[in-house]
């Protein structure tokens, strides 16, 4: 006998829809906090589905708050804040999302360039959409106007004053002509208002981008250009002589391993050149197995890379090599 479990699938699907709707409502609320989202059961799945609004929510400040949950030991043994939130934060951070990983592997200058590229891509897409809109609406509107003019000429020829017997018929023709003109004027006004609204939205977006750039420039003045603020904040987990919490150490090393898998050269350069002081902390806390395993992974990668290429890549700045490659491609 065949059994049908379709009703179970329907129930699960409805539950997933309900949770995603709850997340959407929270994202539309400007007062929503990170904790409001971390409590949602479907947050991890929604994040992996690349929800645009959700990714925008994770700006630099909220990413830093995520880091807090995997490097700061909770004061109280609370089930939600002490266990659930760190687990969810770790799952979000270890999902390979370019928007988040760039904050840990690119300098501020590189982040600005990356954003400019994304904005250029968005502007190209919007220009294509505008062309399609004009082709569909404006050109079709011009064709309609031509058809209306042709129909009007035919109508005028058919209703030649010679064939019109009464003055009332003339008045009716004039009224219909005026009504069609008014309708055309309304359409033109609506199209102009749409264009003006589109221009205003573009200007507002440009202003926001400029304000963000100014804020980033101010931060750059305070923070060294070759340093990565969020990565340094993550590494601050090791800057203690106290024994490290083994659960948080696991979360910490898991995320470092994910960053290493994403862009190994960037992370190796930063740890061995820009932050060589932190290597002592790795060794100091090597009593934690996860830390010693990660450190050995770094050293093995260094040895393999140097043996294969006969030169030490640690002395190369990966950001400079990327720029040189871009210049070669442009030439």
Distance of alpha carbon 289 from alpha carbon 315, whole angstroms: 29
Comparing CA positions, the residue from 313, 240, 247 lying closest to residue 278 is: 240
Q: Is the sign of the CA dihedral 186, 192, 194, 196 positive or negative?
A: negative
Q: Say which residue, 163 or 109, is predicted with more confidence.
A: 109
Highest-confidence segment of 79-83, 138-142, 252-256: 252-256
| Residue partners of 38: CB distance under 8 A and separation at least 6 | 84, 85, 88, 89
pLDDT digits (tens, 9 = 90+) for 125-166: 555 555 565 566 555 555 666 666 666 655 555 555 444 455
Please tell me the distance from the alpha carbon of residue 264 to that of residue 276, in angstroms, as a whole number.
Answer: 16
Taking the C-alpha atoms of residue 169 and residue 158, their distance in angstroms, rounded to an integer, is 13
- Give the per-residue pLDDT at 225: 76
Please compute the mean of the pLDDT values over residues 222-233 and round it to a whole number: 85
- Percent over 70 (pLDDT), the chain: 66
User: Is it the case that residue 8 has pLDDT exceeding 70?
Assistant: no
Taking only the tens place, the pLDDT of each residue in 266-318 is: 999 999 999 999 999 999 999 999 999 999 998 888 544 444 444 444 455 66
The first and second tokens of residue 147, run together, are 């058809």
255, 91 contact by CB (below 8 A):
no
What is the reported pTM? 0.61
Q: What is the pLDDT, as a whole number, of residue 275?
A: 93
DSSP code of 245? P
**Residue 103 to residue 112: CA distance in whole angstroms:** 11
Place of tokens 């505008």: 130
- For 18-39, the pLDDT digits (tens) are 447 899 999 999 999 999 999 9
Which tops the pLDDT comparison, 112 or 126? 112
Tokens of 187: 């359409």
Q: What is the pLDDT of residue 13?
A: 41
The band of 75, judged by pLDDT with boundaries at 50, 70 and 90, is confident
The shares of helix, strand and coil residues in the chain, as percent rounded to the nearest 5, are 80, 0, 20
pLDDT band, residue 4 (cuts 50/70/90): very low
Q: What was the pLDDT predicted at 7?
A: 36
> Per-residue confidence at 1, pLDDT binned at 50, 70, 90?
very low
Average pLDDT in the chain: 78
**DSSP assignment of 223-270, as one string?**
S-TT--HHHHHHHGGG--SSPPPHHHHHHHHHHHHHHHHH-HHHHHHI
pLDDT at residue 116 tops 90: no
Q: Find out whether 278 and 235 touch, Cβ atoms under 8 Å.
A: yes
pLDDT at 223 over 80: no
- At 107, give phi and psi (nearest 5°): -75, 170
The model's pLDDT over 158-200, given as tens digits with 9 standing for 90+, comes to 555 444 455 666 666 667 777 777 788 888 888 888 788 878 8
């Amino acid at each position: 006998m065949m059994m049908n479990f379709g009703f179970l699938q329907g129930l699960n699907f409805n539950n997933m829809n309900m949770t995603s709707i709850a997340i959407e409502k929270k994202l539309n609320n400007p007062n929503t906090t990170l904790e409001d989202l971390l409590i949602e059961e479907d947050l991890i799945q929604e994040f992996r589905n690349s929800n645009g609004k959700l990714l925008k929510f994770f700006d630099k400040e909220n990413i830093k708050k995520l880091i807090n949950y995997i490097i700061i030991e909770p004061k109280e043994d609370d089930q939600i804040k002490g266990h659930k939130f760190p687990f969810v934060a770790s799952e979000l951070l270890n999902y390979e999302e370019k928007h988040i990983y760039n904050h840990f592997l690119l300098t501020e200058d590189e982040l600005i360039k990356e954003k400019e590229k994304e904005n250029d891509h968005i502007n190209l897409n919007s220009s294509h959409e505008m062309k399609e809109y004009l082709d569909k609406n404006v050109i079709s509107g011009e064709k309609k106007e031509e058809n209306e003019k042709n129909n009007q000429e035919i109508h005028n020829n058919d209703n030649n004053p010679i064939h019109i017997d009464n003055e009332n018929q003339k008045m009716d023709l004039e009224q219909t002509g005026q009504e069609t003109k008014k309708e055309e004027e309304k359409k033109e006004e609506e199209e102009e208002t749409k264009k003006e609204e589109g221009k205003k939205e573009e200007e507002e977006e440009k202003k926001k981008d400029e304000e963000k750039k100014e804020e980033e420039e101010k931060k750059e003045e305070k923070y060294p250009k070759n340093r990565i603020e969020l990565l340094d904040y993550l590494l601050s987990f090791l800057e203690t002589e106290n024994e490290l919490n083994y659960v948080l150490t696991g979360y910490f090393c898991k995320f470092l391993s994910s960053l290493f898998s994403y862009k190994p050269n960037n992370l190796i350069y930063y740890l061995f050149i820009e932050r060589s002081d932190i290597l002592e902390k790795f060794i100091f806390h090597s009593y934690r197995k996860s830390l010693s395993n990660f450190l050995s992974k770094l050293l093995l990668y260094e040895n393999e890379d140097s043996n294969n290429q006969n030169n030490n890549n640690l002395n190369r700045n990966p950001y400079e090599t990327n720029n040189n490659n871009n210049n070669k491609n442009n030439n």
